[in-house]
Structures are given as C-alpha cells and as structure tokens.
Structure 1
Amino acid sequence: MLEEATEIAIKRVIAWKIAEAMKEQKLTKTLMAKRMHTDRSHVNRLLDPANPALTLNTLQRAAAAIDYELRIDLAPKAKPKARKVKAAKIAKAAKAQKAKAA
C-alpha cells in the first residue's frame, strides 16, 4: 500500500512538473504530442496524475519535448531513526535521574 501511494505521489510530481514546463513554454497538448512523436491522448495520459503507468521511453520523450533532462536515481533505503530517538530519550531520562539523585 505504501509503495502504491509512493508511486502515485511520484507520478503526480512528474505530471505537475511537465505541465508547469508546458505552461512556461506556452506549449499546447497538441504541440507537445507533435514534439514527442505521439498523439494527444498519450499526452493526456502522461499529464494525468492518477495514471501511474509510464515508461522510461515516454518520460525521455516528454523531457526532450520540453528541453529538460531526465534524471533517475537509485539509492539505498534510509534506515529507521526510531532507535536513535529511543536511545536519546533513554539517555535524557538517565541524565534527569542523575540530576535528581545529586
């Protein structure tokens, strides 16, 4: 469920960025489709934040059409910080007890 929500969030950001670039460049969906060598319905799907189905090829063509560079990164997952927080709370509580005892 979290993966699906993340996928949808990523698609929303991508769709928004492409739409904003199109607005800045005054590109219509028809012109965008011509630049991507596709049809307008394909551009509609690209800009639909609820449609997470995108290929790298489509993203590359969309980026090129708006004179952008497509960058994709793969990174290790962040380690949970819960342990650090818990350890910090324990250390703080121990300090407080020492202060009361003194």
Structure 2
Amino acid sequence: MSETPSSIGGTLEDFLEELGERDAVYGEAIKRVLAWQIEDARQKQSITKSDMAARMGTSRTQLERVLDPCNVAVSLDTLDRAARSVGKKLVIELVDV
C-alpha cells in the first residue's frame, strides 16, 4: 500500500513539502507570474514579439520560451533582459523563511 501525506488540516505548503514538490511548485508559480507580467507589459505598450526579441538581442523562439509560463529553465539574465525590453526592472531579494 502506498503512503499518503498526513497533512490533513495542514497548510498547502506543508502538503507540498511532504510530497517533495514544494520547490518545483514555487519555481513554476514564480515563473508564471513573471511571464504574465512581462507579456502584460508587452501588450500594453503594443510591442510586437519580434520587436521585443530584437530589443533583447535574441530570437523570437527564445522569447517564446521566456513567455511560456511552464518553462522554468530560463536564466535570470534572460528574464532581466526581457523585463528591461518592456521598460521594467527585475528585482530579486533574499528573505528569511
């Protein structure tokens, strides 16, 4: 019989930790938010994807990877260039847990 998590009544974070999925879920959630914010800024400024890719100094294919909310394998440098190409600044900070 397989073992199931025992966090009934616990937090979602506790449940994900028990499953060993917390970091993966958090990473994807952060990427989804960043992708959404970058795409929203691009659309609000009427910047085409081709123009944005050119501003970033990359290909449109690479830009599609940046904007794909499920693709978490994007470097911080690439996310920073994407943010700057739409007039934004990527800010990363460490906080106590």
Report the TM range for the smaller structure's normalisation. 0.7 to 0.9
State the distance in 2 between where 1:72 and 1:19 align: 19
1:7 maps to amino acid: G
Within 5 A, what are the aligned runs for 1:58-69? 58-69=78-89
- Misfit runs of 4+, over 6 Å: none
TM-score by length of 1: 0.73
Unaligned runs of 5+ in 1: 78-102
- Paired-residue identity, %: 43
Higher helix share: 1
Superposed CA RMSD? 0.7
State the distance in 2 between where 1:46 and 1:73 align: 20
* 2:77 corresponds to: 57
Number of equivalences = 77
TM-score by length of 2: 0.77
Matched, 1:27 2:43: no
State the distance in 2 between where 1:60 and 1:8 align: 17
Unaligned runs of 5+ in 2: 1-20
Within 5 A, what are the aligned runs for 1:12-91? 12-77=32-97
- Cα deviation per residue 1:42-75 (whole Å; 9 max; x = unaligned)? 0000000110011111011111101111110111
